[in-house]
Amino acid sequence: MRCFNDNEKFYKIGITSRSVKIRFDSKSRMPYEYEIIKEITGDPVYIYNLEKELHSINKPNRYNPAIGFPGSALECFSSILNVQ
């Protein structure tokens, strides 16, 4: 997903067992506007492994948002590569 406000823009790669709207249902859980770029559903083991692969590939672009939220420390990137 692409997260943004007037001062920042970054990408978050993460998994959830719930919908994104339910996971980020408040400003404390997601203090940024966001746009879902790609949503992949399927076997939980496949999804978990894909998330870890994408985090690894994009590690050089890791980004620390100015406003923290759950999942922000290790799952945010200034740009993303290899979105499947």
Q: For 44, phi and psi rounded to 5 degrees?
A: -55, -35
84 within some domain: no
- Determine the longest span between alpha carbons in the chain, in angstroms: 37
Q: Which residues pair with 12 in a beta bridge?
A: 76
Nearest to 33 by CA among 7, 13, 63, 4: 4
pLDDT value of position 16: 87
Q: Is residue 62 part of a domain?
A: yes
pLDDT at 65: 96
Is there a domain that residue 83 lies in? no
22 is a domain residue: yes
The verdict on residue 40 lying in a domain is yes
Q: Please report whether residue 46 resides in a domain.
A: yes
The pLDDT value given to residue 81:
86
Amino acid at 59: K
- Look at residue 21 and tell me if it is in a domain: yes
The parent domain of residue 48 ranges over 2-77
Is residue 26 included in any domain, yes or no?
yes
Q: Which residues contact 37 (CB under 8 A, 6 or more apart)?
A: 1, 2, 11, 83
> Which residues in the chain land under pLDDT 70?
82-84
Structure tokens at 35: 């746009």
Domain count, the chain: 1
